[in-house]
Amino acid sequence: MSNLDKAGINRRTVLKGAAGLAAASAIFPSAFAIGGQAKVKVGLLLPYTGTYAKLGTNIKDALELRIQQAGGKLGGREVEFVSIDSEAKPPKAPELTSKLIKKEKVDFLVGPVHSVVGMAMVKMARKDGIITVIPNAGANQLTGSLCAPNIFRTSFSSYQPGFPGGKAILEDGHKRVVLMYWNYGFGKQVAAAFKQSFLPGGGTIVKEIPTPFPKVEFQAYLTEVAALEPDAVFTFYAGGGAVKFVKDYAAAGLNKKIPLYGAGFLTEGVTGAQGAAAEGVRTTLHYADSLDLPANHRFRDAFKKSFGRHADVYAVQGYDAGDLLIQGMNAVQGDTSARAEMIAAMESSTIDSPRGKFTFSKSHNPVQNIYLREVVNGENKVLRTVEEALEDPAEGCKIA
Amino acid sequence: MDSSFYLIQLLNGIQYGFLLFLVASGLTLIFGIMGIINLAHGSFYMIGSYLAFWFTSLTDNFLYGILLAIPVTLVVGYAVERLAISYLYQRDHLYQVLLTYALILIFNELQRMLWGSDVHSVAVPQAFSGSVQLTENQAYPVYRLLISASCIVIALAMYWVIQKTRLGMTIRAGASNREMVQSLGINVNRLFAVVFSLGVTLAALAGMLAAPVNTVYPGIGDGVLIISFVVVVIGGIGSIKGAFIGAMLIGLADTFGKVLLPEMASMVVYALMALVLFWRPQGLFGKG
């Protein structure tokens, strides 16, 4: 009984406190409004839990860092971040997106990491017209068949690491290649883009091996690769699958005979876990930690100083999303109602990114350099720029 | 593709089968004897992997890592049975499913809090890091052979415990007639706690042994859970022998499915399950 009483008191106290807070917050915004303009609300839909937690956190931190560097303001207005954990779960995406747009009434939408979450989010953003910046999700459709004037991407399309892969592997003198990838949307798009440059360039696909996603039992396939004896292998795997694949490939002794290539994610953020097995693996991506550019050094130092850990490609994409928002808002002096003008400014902006300067295509995807990297002592070293200012073909995009 | 190609694939299949057997035997033991559907079985696989990673990095020795991880899993299994599962023996399977599903979520969250979301790797012990050259291009890692050898040893030990020891006798008796065993004065509560603890430790042990080849990452147990249920259902619920045959069938079907029917690779094992159930609804060695 006494327990129940206590609970009652506790709840009442809490309720009173909550009511007080609500009253206070009802007064304060108007008080601020007298002094100046209301804050700009930036809605973030990123994963902070689950497999993609690290990606979401790095994007958020780098985005905030960029805005902080610009005096913490967008177009002269203070910024308020409204952050929701997407958990990288597609079924939750429509509800969470709608919460940001309708309930929180944010001025900008930033997210997501996961491509399928991206589909749901972009479909709603298209209807609403809210300016949206995608800091990772790479599905071609997001700036292809689903493109819209208000949708921007600061990361990449799956075409972008795939297409240069075919060119790079031919330049290295490999003509007979086994193509292996996780058999789902993103993997298939990377593989298709690879073939677009590899086949016309005179290459032969000895065998295409789509493997079930997200399974990591590769032994049977590796035995097959050994028997096929190709010149090289091109792959798409990421995260835990990438670690397992690269380790299995080396354990089977294949790395000594048949060079391993892949879309950059094969060795991105996982070389520590791959260890010696990753040495010599070559990948194509729009960024490398070791990229020797002043903007990259500045960014990496600032990120390290602020958060005590090293930046990665995801942080770069978040950082550039921040830059794009700054440029858009500065162009209209913080007037969020001037949407068309802001979009025009963002469209024609040049981002001085840690990955190198880039601009936007008509479908609002980065027109960017793609580098061939090789793992040396656990780090992705840039060998050469495979494609300068590579533009996504934006298949099915009406505004392009 | 010559005959050596198929021989190596056979080896791959058997090797995978052994690992599956280790996980599935614990599941079938718990289900057959206690009548508990343990959805959290995959979580124990994950716990095993993470503990192996953790203790190995603390002691710098994989063997010590495993030796430390085994008692910890035994204790965790015992505690879970006493604190949670034991309250649901009289209840419907639905309650057990709900409880053990909740355990999956709890263990996943604990894993995230303790070890974060990064991908970790466990080094293959130095003595077994070599490989055997099979063909001109392909080598077979010694450690993978060691996994198979360990699985054989564990399978034989299980056979011995269940067939030849007093504990095994009680377990077998408990499985066939719980009330009779109880009326003969055997403490069924303690027996169940021991069986549960041993069963989940088998899953964890599989996770530990596989850690060096698998790498350790969040959600590692999820895929394992589903495939172990397939093995148990094919072999017949509660039958260790069935789990062994089932695991070998799945291991081989999965491997050769990938080679011969690559487009349907992910379906082959389920098609096999459907076929077996069509022919014998109670599984190969299940009690009809």
The reply to whether residue A251 touches residue B135, judged by beta carbons under 8 angstroms, is no
Per-residue burial over A263-298, b if 16 or more Cβ lie within 10 Å, else e, is bbbbbbbbbebbeebbbebbbbbbbbbebeeebbee
Q: Which whole number is the average pLDDT over A139-148?
A: 96
Task: State whether B255 and A219 contact (CB < 8 Å).
Answer: yes
DSSP code, position B216: B
DSSP character at residue B60: S
Please report residues of B whose CB lies closer than 8 A to that of A253. Answer: 131, 133, 137-139
- What Å distances lie between residue A338 and A77, A328, B133, CA to CA? 15, 10, 68
Contacts of B112 in chain A (CB under 8 A): 49, 53
Query: How far is the CA of A310 from the CAs of A297, A303, A305, B153, B185, in angstroms?
Result: 12, 7, 9, 45, 63
Spatial distance between the Cα atoms of A146 and A137, rounded to a whole number of angstroms: 13
A45-63 pLDDT per residue, tens? 999 877 788 889 999 999 9
Kindly report, residue by residue over B10-37, the tens digit of the pLDDT: 999 999 999 999 999 999 989 888 888 8
**Which amino acid, A24?**
A
Instruction: Determine if the peptide bond prior to A112 is cis (ω within 30°).
Output: yes
- Tell me how far the alpha carbon of residue B148 is from its chain's centroid: 13
Give the pairing of strands A379-390 and A151-153: unpaired
Q: Residue A51 and residue B218: Cβ atoms within 8 Å?
A: yes
Computed over its alpha carbons, how large is the radius of gyration of chain A? Answer: 23
The whole-number pLDDT of residue A194 equals: 98
**CA-based nearest distance A254→chain B, Å:** 6
Structure tokens at B149: 């050898």
**Superfamily for domain range A159-285:** Response regulator (3.40.50.2300)
The predicted-structure confidence for A270-303, as pLDDT tens digits, reads as follows: 898 899 999 999 999 999 999 999 999 999 999 9
Does the interface predicted TM-score (ipTM) exceed 0.95?
A: no
User: B124 to chain A, minimum CA–CA distance in Å?
Assistant: 10
Domain boundaries, chain B: 3-225
Are B15 and A219 an interchain contact pair (Cβ–Cβ within 8 Å)? Answer: yes
B288 at interface of A, judged by CB pairs closer than 8 A: no
For residues A204 and A259, the answer to whether their CB atoms sit within 8 Å is: no
Using the predicted structure, report yes or no on whether residue A22 has a pLDDT greater than 60. no
Q: How many CB atoms lie within 10 A of CB A164?
A: 26
Pairing of strands A108-110, A131-134: parallel
Task: For chain B, list residues with pLDDT below 50.
Answer: none
pLDDT in tens, A313-328: 999 999 999 999 999 9
In this prediction, residue A2 carries a pLDDT of 41
CA-CA-CA-CA dihedral for B213, B217, B221, B222, to nearest 10: -120
Q: What's the burial of A339, exposed, middle or buried (CB within 10 Å: 0-12/13-18/19+)?
A: middle
> Which residues from chain B sit within 8 angstroms of residue A221, using beta carbons?
258
Interface test with chain A among B113, B133, B217, by most A beta carbons within 10 Å: B217
CA-CA distance, A127 to A332, in Å (whole number)?
23
- Closest chain A C-alpha to B87 CA, distance in angstroms: 25
B16 near A CB under 8 A: yes
Please give the pLDDT value at position B33: 81
Model confidence pLDDT, tens digit, residues A229-276: 999 999 999 988 899 999 999 999 999 999 999 999 999 988 988 999
pLDDT in tens, A225-234: 999 999 999 9
Q: How confident is the model at residue A400 (pLDDT cuts 50, 70, 90)?
A: low
pLDDT, mean of residues A189-217: 94
* Residues of chain B positioned with their CB less than 8 A from the CB of A259: none
**Contact B218/A at CB under 8 A:** yes
Strand, coil or helix: B267 = helix
Check if the beta carbon of residue B2 is closer than 8 Å to that of residue B135.
no
CA-nearest residue to B140 within chain A is: A252
pLDDT of residue A16: 52
pLDDT at B117: 77
Nearest CA in chain B to A207: B262
Coil/strand/helix, residue B122: coil
Collapsing DSSP states into helix, strand and coil, what is residue B197? helix
Query: Which candidate in A52, A176, A178, A217 is best for mutational testing of the B interface (most B CBs within 10 A)?
Result: A217
Three-state SS letters, chain A: CHHHHHHHHHHHHHHHHHHHHHHHHHHHHHHHHHHCCCCEEEEEEECCCCCCHHHHHHHHHHHHHHHHHCCCEECCEEEEEEEEECCCCHHHHHHHHHHHHHHCCCCEEECCCCHHHHHHHHHHHHHHCCEEEECCCCCHHHHCCCCCCCEEECCCCCHHHHHHHHHHHHHCCCCEEEEEEECCHHHHHHHHHHHHHHCCCCCEEEEEEEECCCCCCCHHHHHHHHHHCCCEEEEECCHHHHHHHHHHHHHCCHHHCCCEEEEHHHHCCCHHHHHHHHCCCEEEECCCCCCCCHHHHHHHHHHHHHHCCCCCHHHHHHHHHHHHHHHHHHHCCCCCCCHHHHHHHHHCCCEEECCEEEEECCCCCEEEEEEEEEEECCEEEEEEEEEEEECCCCCCCCCC
B3 touches chain A (CB under 8 A): no
Q: Which helix (H) or strand (E) holds B131?
A: strand B131-133
Residue to substitute from B7, B11, B137, B228, interface A, most A β-carbons within 10 A: B137
Contact A53 B112 (CB under 8 A): yes
Say how many CB pairs under 8 Å bridge A and B. 107
Minimal CA separation from A87 to chain B, in Å: 13
Cβ proximity of B131 and B139 under 8 Å: yes
Using alpha carbons only, what angle is made at residue A393 by residues A263 and A160, rounded to the nearest 5 degrees? 15
DSSP string, B134-169: -SSS-EEEHHHHHHHHHHHHHHHHHHHHHHHSHHHH
Question: pLDDT, tens digit, for every residue of A304-314?
Answer: 999 999 999 99
- The DSSP-derived string for B69-100 is HHHHHHHHHHHHHHHTGGGGTTS-HHHHHHHH
B116, B139, B256 ranked by CB distance to A253: nearest: B139
Phi then psi dihedrals of residue A230, to 5 deg: -75, 170
- Please state the φ and ψ torsions of residue A44, each to the nearest 5 degrees: -110, 125
Of B5, B12, B16, the CB nearest to A227: B5
Q: How far apart are CA B247 and CA A173, in angstroms?
A: 43
Confidence check: pLDDT of A361 > 60: yes
Are A137 and A314 contacting, i.e. CB atoms less than 8 angstroms apart?
no
Residues in chain A: 400
Amino acid letter at B112?
A: R
DSSP B37: -
Report residue B101: phi and psi, to 5°.
-65, -40
Provide, as residue numbers in chain A, all residues whose Cβ is less than 8 Å from the Cβ of B214. 216, 244
Q: E strand or H helix at B133, and its extent? A: strand B131-133
B96 min Cα distance to partner chain A (Å): 25
Q: Is some CB atom of chain B closer than 8 A to the CB atom of A51?
A: yes
Q: Which residues of B touch A270 (CB under 8 A)?
A: 119
Q: B255 — contact with chain A (CB < 8 Å)?
A: yes
CB-CB under 8 Å, A273 with B119:
yes
**Nearest-angstrom CA–CA distance, A388 and A149:** 25
Selecting from 3.90.1150.10, 3.20.20.140, 3.40.50.2300, 3.40.50.720, what CATH number does the domain A40-155+292-360 have?
3.40.50.2300
Report the amino acid identity of residue A209: I
* B132: enclosing H helix or E strand: strand B131-133
Residue type, A311: A
> In chain B, what residues touch A214 (CB-CB under 8 Å)?
223
Chosen from A223, A247, A255 to mutate, greatest number of chain B CBs within 10 A:
A223
B238: left (phi over 0), alpha (psi -120 to 50) or beta: left
**Is the bond preceding residue A214 a cis peptide, omega within 30 degrees?**
yes
Residues of B in contact with A179 (CB under 8 A): none
> Which residues share a beta bridge with A391?
none
Q: How far is B233 from chain A (nearest CA, A)?
A: 21
Residue closest to B207 by CA, chosen among B19, B27, B58: B19
Contact B220 A240 (CB under 8 A): yes
